[in-house]
């Protein structure tokens, strides 16, 4: 009974994470839609998206991913043991260290912005390059505030306060949407500058809304730069390999952007729009399950065999939950990506041809969507075991493959097969998917050697893919039948049919995760 109740609690936590992510992602997609209305796939859109990613390198290095791997396992274990004094010392020391490190890097980033553009977007020249430099300098301080927000998230998640931490970005998105609405009449370059300042203000609001709850939960918090305590040193030891791992992954993202900057106007913005859609199922399902499971896995007590059995049970259950939702997501990106892109972005300067272009990039993303999402949960399991080096090694392998294959598929391949160079962006996402499957296979093989056999049954995967294929066929029938409708109306009709048929087919095939999801919906309605 104890194990069952613990699983149910974790399931509720995963639901709260998913709900919070869904709300914040919807806000993000609204922001992207408004952004597309004013900018389309113009040079100003390329400049802003490139600039937006550069300081986010800092956020992603020091932010949620690194803290989840290094801080949460130690802090959650101290909370499970009831050591409030030591947990407050660790949280304060980590917060002070992050504040100091990010302050230094923000100053360096602002001063070095021109040189960063040479490294990240060498295809930008003239006014486009100058605008990107100016935007980077504005956005860097906001990235520092988002790192502080990620520290709050680590504390809130460890205390099982998931919803606030994942809905806080709504305020950041709202600030940017309000900026676009207020200054939308400006010329595009001037509007991009205003939007960058709106992002900085939103970053501060996102941090500020979480801070009072964090201070209430950590009554013994001491913000001191104390790196001598044993548990603090353990966090910092774990921090280094995860920092490098995240850095390697971010380098992969910047290589994609660098290559996209050479593919012509709109390629960087198109890749950014596609990634916003592609990361939605990864965040909703992979991150939700992984974020909810990490504190629970880290709190597992007992000898090595008992801990291994608990982790194996949690890992397999989480993999099934993720696959049930991500398999249809991948099929939707592959078969209905134009419908998704049009429903979200097609307005103003964002045209139907832009939607078709984003669909091509999304189809490439579908190749590795399942692997990258399942890989998140495997990485969380390693972090719960205090092993941060194994995911690092395999991340390096993935990035090396992504870089080599990405260049071949984005630059020479379009020329070899006689298509427009802009379509090299689809080659970027497809090659990244192949590399993601290699990383996933390595993570699973090593984990199976440590805790026993894990993974998804072939029978379950056959049922899920069959259900998704049947749903795609039904959705295409609706797409052909409704003719020319508004993009939002078409998306609701086509994607609604797709979702209903997928759930119906998987339920008919007795997929337990489908029945469980429907039971949760029924409980919510009651």
| pLDDT by 10s per residue, the chain, length 526 | 334 334 434 555 666 666 777 787 788 878 888 888 888 778 888 888 888 876 666 666 665 556 666 777 777 777 777 777 777 888 888 888 888 888 888 888 888 888 877 776 777 888 888 898 899 889 888 888 888 888 888 788 778 777 777 788 889 999 999 999 999 888 888 999 999 999 999 989 998 888 898 888 887 777 777 666 667 777 777 776 766 666 566 667 667 777 887 887 778 778 888 887 887 777 777 776 766 666 667 665 556 677 777 788 888 888 998 899 899 999 999 999 989 988 888 887 788 888 889 999 999 989 999 998 898 888 888 887 878 788 888 988 888 888 889 889 888 888 898 888 888 888 888 998 999 999 999 999 999 998 888 989 999 999 999 999 999 999 999 999 887 778 889 999 999 999 999 999 999 998 888 887 777 767 666 6
Per-residue burial over 176-187, b = 16 or more CB atoms within 10 Å of its CB, e = otherwise: bbebbeebeeee
Query: Which of 438, 443, 428 is CA-nearest to residue 398?
Result: 438
C-alpha span between 453 and 450 (Å, rounded):
9
Query: Which of 454, 478, 467 is CA-nearest to residue 506?
Result: 467
Q: Is 493 exposed, middle or buried (0-12, 13-18, 19+ CB in 10 A)?
A: middle
Distance of CA 331 to the CA centre of its chain: 19
First to last CA, the chain: 24
Can you read off the two tokens belonging to residue 510? 């007795």
Q: What is the pTM of this model?
A: 0.68
Q: What is the dihedral of CA 89, 90, 96, 101, to 10 degrees?
A: 160
Residue indicated by tokens 């949760």 = 520
CB 158 within 8 A of CB 72: yes
């Amino acid at each position: 009974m104890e194990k069952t109740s613990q699983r149910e609690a974790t399931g509720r936590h995963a639901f709260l994470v998913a709900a919070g992510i869904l709300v914040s992602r919807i806000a993000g997609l609204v922001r992207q839609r408004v952004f597309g209305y004013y900018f389309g796939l113009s040079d100003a859109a390329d400049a802003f998206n490139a600039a937006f990613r550069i300081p986010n390198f800092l956020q992603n290095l020091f932010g949620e991913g690194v803290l989840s791997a290094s801080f949460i396992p130690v802090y959650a274990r101290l909370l499970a043991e009831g050591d409030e004094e030591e947990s407050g010392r660790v949280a304060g020391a980590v917060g002070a260290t992050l504040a100091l490190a990010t302050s230094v890097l923000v100053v360096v980033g602002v001063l070095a912005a021109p040189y960063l553009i040479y490294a990240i977007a060498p295809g930008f020249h003239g006014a486009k390059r100058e605008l990107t430099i100016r935007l980077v300098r504005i956005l860097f301080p906001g990235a520092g505030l988002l790192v502080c927000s990620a520290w709050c998230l680590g504390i809130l998640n460890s205390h099982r306060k998931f919803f606030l931490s994942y809905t806080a970005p709504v305020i950041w998105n709202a600030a940017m949407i309000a900026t676009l609405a207020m200054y939308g009449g400006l010329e595009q370059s001037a509007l991009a500058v205003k939007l960058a300042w709106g992002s900085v203000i939103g970053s501060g609001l996102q941090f500020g809304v979480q801070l009072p709850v964090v201070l209430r939960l950590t009554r013994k918090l001491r913000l001191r730069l104390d790196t001598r305590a044993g548990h603090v040193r353990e966090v910092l030891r774990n921090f280094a390999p995860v920092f490098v791992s995240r850095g390697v992954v971010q380098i992969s993202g910047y290589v994609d952007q660098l290559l996209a900057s050479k593919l012509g106007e709109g390629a960087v913005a198109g890749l950014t729009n596609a990634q916003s859609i592609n990361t939605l199922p990864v965040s909703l399902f992979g991150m939700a399950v992984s974020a909810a499971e990490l504190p629970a896995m880290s709190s597992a007590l007992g000898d090595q065999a008992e801990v291994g059995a608990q982790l194996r049970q949690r890992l397999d259950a989480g993999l099934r939950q993720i696959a049930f939702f991500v398999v249809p997501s991948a099929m939707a990106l592959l078969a209905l990506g134009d419908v998704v892109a049009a429903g979200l972005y097609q307005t103003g300067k964002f045209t139907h041809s832009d939607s078709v272009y984003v669909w091509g990039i999304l189809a490439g993303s579908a190749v590795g969507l399942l692997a990258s999402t399942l890989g998140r949960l495997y990485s969380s399991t390693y972090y719960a075991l205090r092993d941060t080096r194994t995911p690092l090694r395999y991340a390096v392998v993935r990035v090396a493959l992504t870089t080599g294959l990405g260049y071949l598929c984005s630059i020479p391949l379009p020329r070899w097969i006689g298509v427009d160079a802009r379509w090299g962006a689809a080659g970027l996402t497809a090659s990244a998917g192949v590399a993601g499957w290699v990383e996933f296979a390595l993570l699973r093989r090593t984990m199976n050697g440590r805790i026993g056999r894990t993974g998804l049954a072939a029978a379950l995967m056959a049922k899920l893919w069959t259900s998704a294929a049947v749903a795609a066929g039904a959705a295409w029938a609706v797409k052909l039948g409704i003719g020319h409708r508004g993009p939002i109306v078409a998306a609701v009709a086509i994607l609604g049919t797709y979702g209903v048929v997928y759930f119906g087919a998987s339920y008919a095939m007795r997929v337990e995760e489908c029945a469980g999801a429907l039971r949760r919906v029924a409980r919510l309605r009651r």
